[in-house]
Amino acid sequence: MAPRLILVSNRVNVPNGGPRQAGGLTVAVNAALKNREGVWFGWSGKVSGDGEPPAVSVTERRHKTFITLDLSETDFQEYYNGFANRVLWPVLHYRVDLAEFTSVDLGGYLRVNGRFADALSPFIKPDDVIWVHDYHLLPLAKGLRARGHSNPIGFFLHIPCPPPDILEALPHDEETMGALTHYDLVGLQTEQDADNLSRYFAGLGANVYRASGLFEFDGRRVRVRAFPVAIATAVYSRAARNSAKSPLVEELRGSLGGKRLILGVDRLDYSKGIPGRIQAYGHFLEKYPEWLAKVTFLQVTPKSRAGVPEYRAIEQEVNGLVGQINGRHGDPAWTPIRYINRSYSRAALAGLYRSAQVGLVTPLRDGMNLVAKEYVAAQDPENPGVLVLSQFAGAAQELDGAVVVNPHEPEGVAAGIREALAMPLDERRDRHARMYEHLAVHDIDRWAERFLTALGEAKERPGLLKGLRSLFAQRA
């Protein structure tokens, strides 16, 4: 029988029967838990008073156990708003300039990781396999090892991993990024990310031994490898077909009055390049006036991390830019940009993607960007839309049929939009077929299998490194 799998992430999405608004991480975790006995452990999303002991709650649903704990107000501020989202998030997205470090927040981050380890520890059985997700929990394996657990523990980073000189800008980086050396396997989104982490690991100290993705630190071994995260391609494609007939999509189509639709869908986050995208759309309207009143740009942007000042600032910036473009180019019968701050279920979004002739995905930096993959999966293969994709999204490494643009160059993005709108049907079909085929093979189930197989192997071959070492010694 397969060993039990324990998934750990900051947020846990306990199914409640309502429509699913799951992000990429939830889709990934669900794929890993599919057909397995499993546990999903993490924060409940609730913040309790500072004096109260953290409540742990256990929910059973269809052979899965969901274990969640609340955070106190101080933990929430220091760990989540503070170190995770004001230091790690910007630095790992190459924005050292936005990082606001305090040692109090770092202390809170390490303390909450210790709380997670304490709360999880009693549930761990000797045969369990543990898989930890994302930047909130970098030191968790170290905490679990210190509590005596020698289980296989893997880690997957959903966001980018910058080069060592940027990682080293993190104060006390050895306590956070350096703690990744306590996992058996660390998975990254792209080869470039894996290479960056490998170079960082190689620089960590004198007792580091490195052999193609395998590292040894004072007797501990860790593997580093790329596992580009994926989507449930066939399921998503079906959802898009069905939802294309939904009232939401019918109404949208009716309201467009035959205009082409350009669609952007992102959390409101400075890494997503939303202001630059809006400016690029403004350039597009100015440079190619033949498209005036013939296109509508719909930007769907749920608000995010309201407790972090940088997110409030981006909200104002985007509101201002949308107003400028609509004021300048709009007329009584046409609003050039429709900007919406609410979130939609995955099924509803799938229908919107299928209705859009252009998917505009222009992050300044993104680990993968599953919107790009979902947009491709949602298209009608007979008459597909075109993906305009930032070269700085991990997805650009795989989606070779996209129109790839540099989000820092508004004229280039504007030209990309025009190219996408003008692309002949044959070319659209060819590009789409190529990308869909790739996504159909490299789907989320395969991603989870590949990671778990590699984690099993990482733990199973204790003699491997010794063997490699003696081999190299003989050759030298």
Q: For residue 322, give both structure tokens.
A: 């949308």
89: phi then psi, degrees, rounded to nearest 5 = -60, -55
Residue 77 in the binding site for ligand G6P (CB under 6 A): no
- Number of helices (H), then strands (E), belonging to the chain: the values are 18, 16
37 φ/ψ angles, rounded to the nearest 5 degrees: -75, 135
Any residues with CB less than 8 A from the CB of 159 and at least 6 apart, and which? 89, 92, 93, 134, 135, 189, 366, 367
Indicate the DSSP class of residue 394. G
Q: Which residues pair with 376 in a beta bridge?
A: none
Q: Roughly what angle, to the nearest 10 degrees, separates helices 233-243 and 370-378? A: 60
Q: Is 373 in the site for ligand G6P (CB under 6 A)?
A: no
400 noted as active-site residue: no
Which residue, chain included where needed, has tokens 């994302």? 134
Q: How far is the CB of 47 from ligand G6P (least distance, A)?
A: 13
Query: Which lies closer to ligand G6P via its Cβ, residue 8 or residue 337?
Result: 8
Q: Minimum distance between the CB of residue 85 and ligand G6P, rounded to whole angstroms?
A: 6
11 lines the binding site for ligand G6P (CB under 6 A): yes
Contact 272, 363 (CB under 8 A): yes
Q: Which of residues 305-324 bind ligand G6P (CB under 6 A)?
A: 305
- The region of 19-27, 123-131, 285-293, 467-475 touching ligand G6P under the rule CB under 6 A is 19-27
DSSP tag of 413:
H
CA 29 to the chain's CA centroid? 12
Answer yes or no: are the C-beta atoms of 321 and 275 closer than 8 Å.
yes
Q: Which stretch binds ligand G6P (CB under 6 A): 18-26, 100-108, 212-220, 339-347?
A: 18-26
Choosing from 70, 75, 366, 443, the catalytic residue is 366
Q: State the minimum distance, in angstroms, from the CB of residue 415 to ligand G6P.
A: 29
Of 101, 156, 118, 109, give the one whose Cα is nearest residue 136: 109
φ, ψ at 70 (rounded to 5°): -80, 160
Nearer to ligand G6P, 146 or 313 (CB): 313
25 binds ligand G6P (CB under 6 A): yes
Binding segment for ligand G6P (CB under 6 A), chosen from 17-25, 36-44, 57-65, 253-261, is: 17-25
Q: Give the DSSP per-residue string, 339-375.
A: EE-----HHHHHHHHHH-SEEEE--SSBS--HHHHHH
Nearest approach in angstroms of CB 349 to ligand G6P is 15
Residue ranges in 120-159 that form contacts with ligand G6P under rule CB under 6 A: 134, 158-159
Binding mask of the shown chain, residues 418 to 437, with x at each position contacting ligand G6P by CB under 6 A? --------------------
CA distances from 401 to 88, 334, 391 (A): 32, 31, 12
Q: Does 23 bind ligand G6P (CB under 6 A)?
A: yes
As measured in angstroms, the least distance from the Cβ of 28 to ligand G6P is: 10
To the query of whether residue 443 is one of the catalytic residues in this protein, the response is no
* Helix 274-287 and helix 309-329, axial crossing angle in degrees, nearest 10: 10
Report how many residues bind ligand G6P under the rule CB under 6 A: 9
Residue 13 or 299: the one with the smaller Cβ distance to ligand G6P is 13
Instruction: Candidates 21-29, 171-179, 340-348, 461-469: pick the segment binding ligand G6P (CB under 6 A).
Output: 21-29
Q: Exactly one of 93, 136, 158, 432 is catalytic; which is it? A: 158
Complex with ligand G6P: residue 70 or 134, whichever CB lies closer: 134
CB closer to ligand G6P, 27 vs 386: 27
AA identity, residue 388: V
Contact present, 252 and 286 (Cβ < 8 Å)? no
CA nearest neighbour of 155 among 126, 190, 180: 180
401 contacts 430 by C-beta, under 8 angstroms: yes
Q: Which residues contact 408 (CB under 8 A, 6 or more apart)?
A: 276, 364
> Out of 77, 304, 324, 326, which residue is the one contacting ligand G6P (CB under 6 A)?
304
- Is 115 a residue that touches ligand G6P (CB under 6 A)? no
Residue 346 sits in the site that holds ligand G6P (CB under 6 A) = no
Toward ligand G6P, which CB reaches closer, 135 or 215?
135
Stretch that binds ligand G6P, among 20-28, 236-244, 383-391, 468-476 (CB under 6 A): 20-28
In the complex, the residues that contact ligand G6P under the rule CB under 6 A are 11, 23-25, 134, 158-159, 304-305
Residues with catalytic function:
158, 366
